[in-house]
Each structure stands twice: as structure tokens, then as C-alpha cells.
Chain A
Amino acid sequence: MTEIKQTQENQVHTEADSREFLSFVLGSEHYALDIMSVKEIRGYEAVTKIANAPPFIKGVINLRGDIVPIVDLRLKFEVGEATYNEFTIVIMLNVAQRIVGIVVDGVSDVIRLADDEIRPAPDFGVAFDSRYLLGLVPIEDHMVILVNIESLISSDELGLVDTQLSNSQE
């Protein structure tokens, strides 16, 4: 009985060590984010513009009754070309009790990574501020940038969250 428990614990332990990431492409760069925060993947559709929003916030769409903002990360981080066609992909994320869609050039793979495979990000100016990076991973002949999507989405930089409002409520 105790033995079984122990093996179970061992399994849990190894699972906790490795996580699954969804990798996607922005321009020529490869990125990945924690798959647990992905709600669904869908094609790009017409958005309703929001007044006085920065250009990378494309607007809002109706996701089964919820009004959800769409962010184009290519515009935000100035990578690749922000073109919209039938192959343009939107990853719908579920972070911090909010739903947000991010526009990417393509979704490539689901990768399982152990913690020791992740290299720390060097302190240089990648498109992403290092605060929003979990680390870098070499896969085959290219480098995958692991994004801490939760802190990115709730950051002031994207301006998706009304910081003033939440401050005044406290």
C-alpha cells in the first residue's frame, strides 16, 4: 500500500518537473507559452475597434457572449509583418480570470520541457522585456523563447487591465 503511494508520488514529482508549452511563431522568431493558459486557438476574424486604444490592441470580438480584446503581439514587439489573412491565428488565453486573444503568425507545436532544459534569458534587449521571459530553450536548430504570459498580459505595458480602477477599489 505504502509502496504504491510512493510510486504515485514519484510520478507526480516528475510531472511537476516538466511542463507543456505551446510554441508559436512571430515573424521568424519562435516563442512558447504555458499551455495551461491557452483556452483555444482560432482563426482571425473581423474585430470591432476600440477608440483611443494603442495600435496593437486590434479591438474586441464576441467569444460566445463574452467581449474579448485581441492583441497583436507582432505590432507590440515589432516582429514580422502584421498581415491578416485566412491563415492568421489567434490564441485565446485564459489568464488572471480574463480572456484575451493574441494574434500570432502561426502555431507550431506542443513541447514538453523539464525545468533543467530551460536556460536563463541573458540580459539583452530582446523584443520582450526580460520580466516577461521564463527563459530560452534550444530546440533542434533554433531557439525558443519562453514567455511568462500571465505577467505579460497583466502588465501595464499592454494596458489591458485598468490599473487605476483596481487601485481605487482597494
Chain B
Amino acid sequence: MSIDMEQFHGVFFDESQEHLDSMEQQLMALDLISPDAEQLNSIFRAAHSIKGGSGIFGFDALTGLTHIMENLLDKARQGTTELNEAIVNVLLETVDLLKTTLETYRNKKEVDQQSIDKGIECLESVLNDENTSRSDTQDMDDEGFGFFESETTTKLSTDDSVDIEGFGFFDELQPASQKPDESFGFFDELKPISQESNDSFGFFETPTIKTNENDNRTDLKPNVQASSLEKKQITNTSEQTKKTVESTSIRVDIGKIDSLVNLVGELVITQSMLTMIGSEVTGEVEDKLHTALAELQRNTREIQESVMSMRMLPMSVTFNRFPRVVRDLSSKLGKKVDLVMEGGTTEIDKGMIEKLVDPLTHLVRNSIDHGIETIDERLALGKSERGTVILRAEQRGGSIEISITDDGAGLNRERILAKATENGIEHDPDMPDNQVWALIFEAGFSTAAEVTDVSGRGVGMDVVRRNIETIGGRIEIESTLGKGSSFHIHLPLTLAIVDGMCVSVGDQIFVVPLMSIIESIQPSKEQIKDISNDNLLWIREQYWPLIHLHKTMQIDNAILEPDKAIVVLIESSKKRFALLVDSLVGQQQVVIKSLEKHYKRVPGVAGATIMGDGGVAMILDVESLASLVKPASKESIQHD
């Protein structure tokens, strides 16, 4: 488990660094007299994201700081606190502190708890100051609560840091020489797992006393050095074995991969040109040239395949972080929640995966916090005491669908409408459910009665929607009161790879997604039946509607007699139908390119792809073809 989490640390550090940088910039640019609401929102969101992420990974020093920072920013956002130079200074100092703390975590060093406490104290004092222009005991009490809470978290974090140190322990074993590590950032990525993790497992399992000891040393600073010295000694022995078991992965800028993808596309085209020219060559070099060209063809294909696979990652990369999220959160909230994950092997573009992490985390946390009821409530409602959250990814027609489903309370129409009124969000009280659900994506909307560490500030959902929209997706909600809700995220297939069957019609090639094909046959005349100008195909003891692809796609020079052509039986989620094409060309993996980027959506087409010869082939969208079944064939007959 711990090893699984490690692979996400790098991403979290990078993201948080970005968030901190933007926070700093925005704070500097903030107009104190009349602060821009959107700017405050975005500072707030950045703090919120860091809090969320650090909570997942157990970087409690960051969570504690950002939580209080959030409180302060929230007050500023709502206008209850007026920002002034001093507050912004404190905020900036906090950002600095967050940066150093982030760096400390990144380098797996001990967090300076004193400075964290001091930072929290600073923020608290500003918060209290603003709360009550003159110290009001009652308010102080309230804040005192916040204080205790945060203190417990910080206390906890010291405990937790035992844990973290436990993990951190065997990592720290590796860099005996910290310096080269830092400068390359190389070894951070290369985490030897096998050999050493065994050692270190032994390590943190056995002597709890030892880690505690270590923990104490944090407080007595001078000793830290001694302990790291100890580690160094241990490391030296393991250093040699490590070299042989280094796992190999490096971070590469995605732009480099993109340009590689394009270049390889060009290479494939050049290669097929060479093959064509090569076939014209005669004489003594002919044989040699052909052998070399065949070799080249094989190599280019392999290069192409591996380059394509570089950008694609299975959804499980994202999904794997959720068991921990669910466990931590449910135990925190005193709920029992089972997490079911399906479709982890669905491949998705890396760029999308990174942008999906935040929204999915928000949604899962929301499901557990707002959706799933407490054990008592569930039992009273006659539900099983364990709630279930299902995370599912699947490819559907021209899109990828990711859904988060819970069997909790469901959305409450009345409460959402009441809240919308309260927050001044425009709405119509009679609008249909799905529009009501959409209200929760508005900025500043939250139905949670209390602001907790987990959720309820109303930042989550609008960020969720914004993030999904930036990758060209959309989100829908289905919900039944008392039964549960489910959030569906539809993502475009841009750059997703599809296993396709290439078919030819006239002089054009089309790609049919392989997973929707049942079989391909050459029909006999007797199998084709006419019904009011349409054709039906009798096969498998059923009549199948027959779509002439050349008619739908308006292609000339196609084979018109079905018994001389090929019929591909297709199953979409809505219906089954048969597709008439001239012939089958072959099966291959194709990369889906967007048609909308420079043109627009075309009915019946999910996208386009570039074939080996550099030409363009359309990828059919079986879902929309299925809906075209009747009207399309009738119209085209009238045109004829």
C-alpha cells in the first residue's frame, strides 16, 4: 500500500508547487481596497487543493497550515474580514512556510514542527484579531475550539510522522549521498522495491520503539544528525545491492512525447513511400533492398506502437490512490464504506489522467461525506451498515465514461433549492431534477450544514466541473432520494487508442471499433430481405437492419449488391445492426484524432485516424450510427 502511494507523491509535490506559486502571485496582485472576488476564490481553491492532497498522503503539517489559511481566506472571500497589508503579509509568510515544508517532505526530511506551530499561531492570531476587533471571550472560545482541533491534528501529525518516517525510512536508506540525488531528482523516482523493501519492512515492523526514539529526536534537534549518520551506515551496505535492482522510470515532459508521436507518424509515412519506391527497383540490389525495407517496416511499426503506448495509462493509476482515501476518510467520519473499482484497465490519455485526479478525489470524498449516511442512520433506514462507493471506468462508443456511484442518501431537491435561494443563485423552483442537481456545480454552493475539514465549503464542485470541462468532458448527476447518487463523467476519446477493424467502401477506408463487432460474413442473396425500401439481413435466427455504409457516408463506386460485399454485424448499447461494406482490410490499433479541432462533429463518426500511408480514415461511431438506422436509409433512398 505504502509503496503504491509513493508513486503519486511526485505528482502531488509538483501540483502543490504550482498552486503555491500561483497563490503567491495572486496575493501579490491582490487589490486590498476592493479585492477581486474571482482572485480570492482562486487563492482559496489553491489552498483547498493543497489541503485535500496533503490530507490524502498524510502530510499533516501542510494540512494543518492550509486548513487555518482556508478559514482566513474564506472570511475574506465572504467579506466578513477586511484584508489589509498585515494579513496579506501573514498569508505570504504562510505560503513561504508551506513551500519549505513541501520541500522538506519532498526530500523526505524531518518536518520542523516548531515553525509549523508558529505559522499556525500567526494565522490564528490574525483570525482572532479579525473576528473580534476587541478580544471577545466568547469568540475566543469558539476559536479555541478550532485551536484544539488543529492542535490535535498537529499532535496527530507527530504520531503520523512516525508512520511517514516508517515509509520514509527505507527511502532514506538509499540516498547515502543526498547531494547528487537532489541535483538530478533522479533517484527520487527510482525506487528500488524488491530487495530493500523487504529489509525495510522488517525495519518498521519490528521496533516501534526505535521509530519512537527517532521521533523524539526530532524534538531534540541536535540528535537528528546522529540518527541520519546511523542511517548512512546502514545505507552503505545496501547501496551495492540497490544498483542492480533499480526500477527504471523517468519523468519526461509530455510535450516531448507529443512531438515524438507526430514525428513517428511522419516516419511511418516516409517508410511506406520508400516501400513503394522499392517495389519499382529491379536488378541485383532488388533482393537486398527488399530485405532492408521489410526490416525497416517492422522497426517503424514497433517504434510507433511503443510511442503510442507512452501517452496512454490505465485508469488504475488514478484509481489506486482511492482505497487509502476511502479508508482514511470513512474512519475519520465514523462511517463504514466499501470501495468497488471496475474497469481499471481502461486506457486513457495521460494528460487527462492528471487532470482527473482532483475532480475524482473531490467526488469520492463528497460521496463519503455527504452521500453515505452514518451507521446509525443507515441501520434506521433498513440499509446495511456498510455503504458502498463504486468507481467505474469504461469506454463507450465515442467517449470514456467514469462514474462514481454511492448507495447513500441521494441529493435532496428541497435543500438544494433552499440553498440556492440563500446564496442568491438564480433558479426556477419548478425546474426538472437534472437542472436542480446542476446547481451544486455553481461557485460558492454547499449544502453541508457545517464546515468541516473534509468538505462543505462549496469550492469542491465548481472546481470539479471546471476541471472536467478543461479536458473537454462533461459531468452528469443521477440521484434518487434515499437510494444514492451517481456522478457520470463523459470524456472525449481524444488521443485514446482504439482497436479497430479497417473496412473499405469505394476508395475510402473506415475504422470500426473492434469491441462492437460481433462477426463479419459474406451474405447470400437469400439472407437479404426487403422491407419498405429497407434491407433486412436474416442471420442467427433474427432479422437485422442493414445499413449501407456507402449510402450513409455518401461514397461512390461502392459494391451495391450485398451478396458480393461483406456484412459486419455490430452491437451498440442501443441496438444491433448489420453494416454493409465492400471488404475487410485488416485489424489494427489506431490513434483517435479529433475532427472537431479544425472542423466540426460529423454524425456517425467518432473521429479520424491517420493510416500507414499518411491518408486519413474515419472512425465510425457505432452509437450514433445506430440512431441513424431508420431515417438515414429512407432519406438516402429518396435522394437516389
Contacts and interface: CB of A to CB of B under 8 A. Distances in A.
A67 B594 contact: yes
B616 A48 contact: yes
Interface stretch (A6-14, A58-66, A83-91): A58-66
Contacts of A165: 596, 600-601
A46 B615 contact: yes
A130 B615 CA distance: 37
Interface string A64-97: 1111110000000000000000000000000000
A3 interface: no
B608 interface: yes
A3 B153 CA distance: 65
B572 interface: no
Given A51-B603, A69-B599, A100-B598, A64 B615 contact: no
B616 A67 contact: yes
Contact of B555 (A49, A66, A160): A49
A38 interface: no
B472 to A, nearest CB: 10
Contacts of A157: none
Interface stretch (B16-24, B81-89, B260-268, B518-526): B260-268
Contacts of A68: 598-599
- Of the candidates A60, A66, A68, A100, the one having the most CB atoms from chain B within 10 angstroms of its own CB is A60
Given A65-B593, A66-B593, A165-B601, A51 B554 contact: yes
B604 interface: yes
State the main secondary structure of chain B at its contact with A: loop
B614 interface: yes
A52 interface: yes
B599 A65 contact: no
Contacts of B597: 66-67, 98
Contact of B599 (A47, A64, A67): A67
B596 to A, nearest CB: 7
A107 B468 CA distance: 44
B122 interface: no
B353 interface: no
A161 interface: yes
A98 B597 CA distance: 7
B617 interface: yes
B618 interface: yes
Contacts of B599: 50, 60, 67-69, 160
B614 A51 contact: no
Interface string B606-619: 00101000111110
B593 to A, nearest CB: 5
Nearest to B269: A62
B595 interface: yes
A56 to B, nearest CB: 13
A162 interface: yes
A65 B600 contact: no
Contacts of A49: 508, 553-555
A51 B552 contact: yes
Contact of A62 (B552, B553, B610, B618): B610
Contacts of A159: 600
A98 B601 CA distance: 14
Interface residues of B, number: 29
A134 interface: no
B605 interface: yes
Nearest to A57: B599
A133 interface: no
Contacts of A69: 598-599
Interface string B263-277: 001100000000000
B602 interface: yes
A62 to B, nearest CB: 5
Interface in A123-169: 159-162, 165
A51 B621 CA distance: 13
B315 to A, nearest CB: 25
Contacts of B602: 50-53
Contacts of A62: 610, 614-616
Interface in B240-296: 261-262, 265-266
Contact of B508 (A48, A53, A64): A48
Interface in B551-566: 552-555
Given A51-B553, A52-B554, A67 B615 contact: no
A60 to B, nearest CB: 5
Contacts of B262: 64-65
A51 B548 CA distance: 13
B605 A51 contact: yes
A51 B596 contact: no
Contacts of A50: 599, 602, 605, 618
A88 B484 CA distance: 62
A66 B494 CA distance: 12
Contacts of B554: 49, 51-52
A99 interface: yes
Contacts of A61: 616
Interface string A98-135: 11100000000000000000000000000000000000
Given A65-B262, A65-B265, A67-B595, A48 B608 contact: yes
Nearest to B603: A52
A162 B593 contact: no
Given A64-B262, A65-B265, A65-B593, A48 B598 contact: no
A65 B603 contact: no
A65 B262 CA distance: 6
Nearest to B259: A65
B225 to A, nearest CB: 55
A51 B604 contact: yes
A102 to B, nearest CB: 13
Nearest to A63: B598
B259 to A, nearest CB: 10
A60 B601 CA distance: 13
Nearest to A59: B616
A49 B604 CA distance: 13
Query: Which of B262, B552, B615, B616 has the most chain A CB within a 10 Å cutoff?
Result: B616
Contact of B618 (A48, A64, A161): A48
Contacts of B610: 62, 65, 67
Contact of B608 (A67, A161, A162): A67
Interface string A26-64: 000000000000000000001111111100000111101
A48 B617 contact: yes
Contacts of A98: 597-598
Given A51-B552, A51-B554, 4 more contacts: A49-B553, A52-B603, A62-B614, A69-B599
Interface of B: 261-262, 265-266, 508, 552-555, 593-605, 608, 610, 614-618
Closest 9 CB pairs of A and B: A162-B600, A48-B616, A51-B553, A65-B262, A69-B599, A67-B608, A98-B598, A62-B610, A67-B593
Interface of A: 46-53, 59-62, 64-69, 98-100, 159-162, 165
6 contacts: A48-B616, A48-B618, A51-B602, A53-B602, A67-B616, A99-B598
